[in-house]
Structures are given as structure tokens and as C-alpha cells.
């Protein structure tokens, strides 16, 4: 086991021999690390935190720390992290609250760039990219393969759909459609599908064509959301069904 002499590991913490713990890291008594994790330096892991294998934590990130919620009174809430995540400098991930479900979750194979904040009770899927200073308020859901641009604050209880791409500096106060390219100029708008990103993920031309039809009905046709939704349901393929289901369950409304 490679543990720098200046690191502080509390009794009770689980740190496999395959892990590397760099200088001035602090690991709390209820932290469980998976195999082959690396803490570069000055990393804080706290609270009831369960971490999978092959995660890399860069300097000054703080994971599993108490939520920034004035109602939090020290309850034994949790943080769960999957495998293969890269968590860059000064990232903060708050543990959950009892009223929000009690668990903040991060899936696997995500890239969290410098200064990202994941607020309490947020649920982040897998294969996501959160660029520098992306900020998730409490109770935010980020679905698989979504990308959140730099300096994007996401309002509480918002959902960012799978494969969505949010441009830098966009203030997100409503749900972001799956597969969409959403950005802010003077106001937030969905500009159609994330065509380049979807093609890179292996979407066939047929799938892209179906999604383009769905988004034209929603964004460009002279239809209200209810009318567009009925037309989208008539399209073939699972992707159109995903878009329709997302709109139907949206609690804050979607950005069009």
C-alpha cells in the first residue's frame, strides 16, 4: 500500500492495498474505497462514503462532505460513487439529506473537471462530462452520457436528459431534453439534437433522422407541447419514445 506519511486515515476506513494515497489527504472513518483508487494530494473523503474501483481524485477535492443545507443536522446520510471516475481539482460532492432521499450518487466513467459542485441528493449517471465550474444544486438528476458545459448552474430538482449537451454559461432552470443541444444566447433554447455528439456515440443515420423528426415537431412545427407530444408518440423507434416519456414526466417543464 502506498500511503504518504502526511496522510491521515481514520480508524475504520477501508483502503485496499492497491490504492495510492498522496500527501496531506484525509480519509474519514466511514469511507470505503474500492481497488486501485488514487488520491493525488490534499483530498478529503468524509462521511458515509462508498467508492468503487479505479477512481482518481485530484488535489483539493472534497467528497462526502456535509451538505450546504441549513436544515441539515448531522444525520447519517451517504455518498455513493461508481468505478472509473476522474474527479479533478477542487471538485465538491456533498452527501445527501434525509428529506432528499439520503444519498448523493455518481455513476461510473464520468469526468468532473475542476471546481465542479454536485449538491446534496443529486443523481449523476455514467459516462457524463461536467466541465469546469458546472454547479448542480441539490436534487438534480443528470442522465447517462450527458454533458454540462463550463459555468452552468443547474437549478434544484431539474433533470438533464440522456445524451444532452448544454453549452457553456447556460443557466438551467427547467428540464433539458434528452439528445438535445441546449444553449443560452439571450434566452435558453434547445437548438435541435446533439447531432455530432450522438454520431460519435454510434447513433445510426436512421436513429438521428427519427430524432430530428421528433425535435422538428416539438421545436419548429406550429404545435403546442401537447399536440407535438402526440405526434412524437407516432414515430417509430425507442428514441422517440424516450423523448415523449421525458416530456410527460417533467416536473419543471422542458426547455424548448
Per-residue confidence (pLDDT) for residue 244, from 0 to 100: 94
Instruction: Parse the chain into domains and list their residue ranges.
Output: 2-142, 198-249
Distance separating alpha carbons of residues 85 and 73, to the nearest angstrom: 29
Distance separating alpha carbons of residues 152 and 122, to the nearest angstrom: 15
| Cell 444566447 sits on residue | 185
Cβ neighbours of residue 143 closer than 8 Å, sequence gap 6 or more: 125, 159, 160, 161, 162, 163, 164, 178
Query: Tens digit of pLDDT for each residue in 198-255?
Result: 999 999 999 999 999 999 999 888 888 899 999 999 999 899 999 999 999 998 899 8
Query: Tens digit of pLDDT for each residue in 97-111?
Result: 999 999 999 999 999
Per-residue confidence (pLDDT) for residue 92, from 0 to 100: 98
Distance separating alpha carbons of residues 186 and 194, to the nearest angstrom: 20
Per-residue confidence (pLDDT) for residue 33, from 0 to 100: 98
Largest CA distance in the chain: 66
Per-residue confidence (pLDDT) for residue 137, from 0 to 100: 96
Give the domain 2-142 fold. UDP N-Acetylglucosamine Acyltransferase; domain 1 (2.160.10)
Which helix (DSSP H) or strand (DSSP E) does residue 231 occupy? Answer: helix 225-233
Q: According to CATH, what is the number of the domain 198-249?
A: 1.20.1180
- Grid coordinates belonging to 213: 423528426
Which of 28, 52, 138, 161 is catalytic? The answer is: 138
Residue 41 CA, distance from chain mean position: 24
Asked about 4 being catalytic, the answer comes back as no
Per-residue confidence (pLDDT) for residue 184, from 0 to 100: 80
Asked about 42 being catalytic, the answer comes back as no
Which residues in the chain land under pLDDT 50? none
Which helix (DSSP H) or strand (DSSP E) does residue 222 occupy? Answer: none
Per-residue confidence (pLDDT) for residue 187, from 0 to 100: 63
Which of 34, 64, 82, 121 is catalytic? The answer is: 121
CA-based nearest residue to 121, from 134, 109, 106: 106
Which of 34, 47, 96, 120 is catalytic? The answer is: 120
Distance separating alpha carbons of residues 134 and 132, to the nearest angstrom: 6
Question: How many degrees, rounded to 5, is the angle at CA 53 between CA 47 and CA 55?
Answer: 75
3-state helix, strand, coil in the chain (%, to 5): 20, 30, 55
Per-residue confidence (pLDDT) for residue 57, from 0 to 100: 98
- Grid coordinates belonging to 145: 452520457
Asked about 46 being catalytic, the answer comes back as no
CA-based nearest residue to 134, from 93, 190, 75: 93
Cβ neighbours of residue 249 closer than 8 Å, sequence gap 6 or more: none
Amino acid at each position: 500500500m502506498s500511503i504518504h506519511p502526511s496522510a491521515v486515515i481514520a480508524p475504520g476506513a477501508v483502503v485496499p492495498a492497491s490504492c495510492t494515497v498522496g500527501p496531506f489527504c484525509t480519509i474519514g472513518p466511514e469511507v470505503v474505497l474500492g481497488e486501485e483508487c488514487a488520491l493525488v494530494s490534499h483530498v478529503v473523503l468524509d462521511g458515509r462514503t462508498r467508492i468503487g474501483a479505479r477512481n482518481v481524485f485530484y488535489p483539493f477535492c472534497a467528497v462526502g462532505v456535509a451538505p450546504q443545507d441549513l436544515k441539515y443536522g448531522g444525520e447519517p446520510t451517504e455518498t455513493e460513487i461508481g468505478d472509473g471516475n476522474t474527479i479533478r481539482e477542487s471538485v465538491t460532492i456533498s452527501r445527501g439529506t434525509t428529506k432528499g432521499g439520503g444519498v448523493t450518487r455518481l455513476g461510473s466513467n464520468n469526468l468532473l473537471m475542476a471546481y465542479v459542485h454536485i449538491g446534496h441528493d443529486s443523481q449523476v449517471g455514467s459516462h457524463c462530462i461536467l466541465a469546469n465550474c458546472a454547479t448542480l444544486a441539490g436534487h438534480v438528476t443528470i442522465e447517462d452520457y450527458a454533458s454540462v458545459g463550463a459555468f452552468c448552474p443547474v437549478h434544484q430538482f431539474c433533470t438533464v436528459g440522456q445524451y444532452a449537451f448544454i453549452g457553456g454559461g447556460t443557466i438551467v432552470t427547467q428540464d433539458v431534453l434528452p439528445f438535445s443541444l441546449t444553449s443560452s444566447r439571450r434566452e435558453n433554447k434547445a437548438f435541435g439534437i446533439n447531432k455530432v455528439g450522438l454520431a460519435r456515440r454510434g447513433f445510426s443515420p436512421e436513429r438521428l433522422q427519427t430524432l430530428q423528426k421528433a425535435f422538428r415537431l416539438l421545436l419548429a412545427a406550429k404545435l403546442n407541447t401537447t399536440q407535438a407530444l402526440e405526434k412524437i408518440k407516432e414515430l417509430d423507434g425507442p428514441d422517440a419514445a424516450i423523448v415523449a416519456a421525458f416530456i410527460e414526466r417533467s416536473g419543471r417543464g422542458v426547455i424548448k
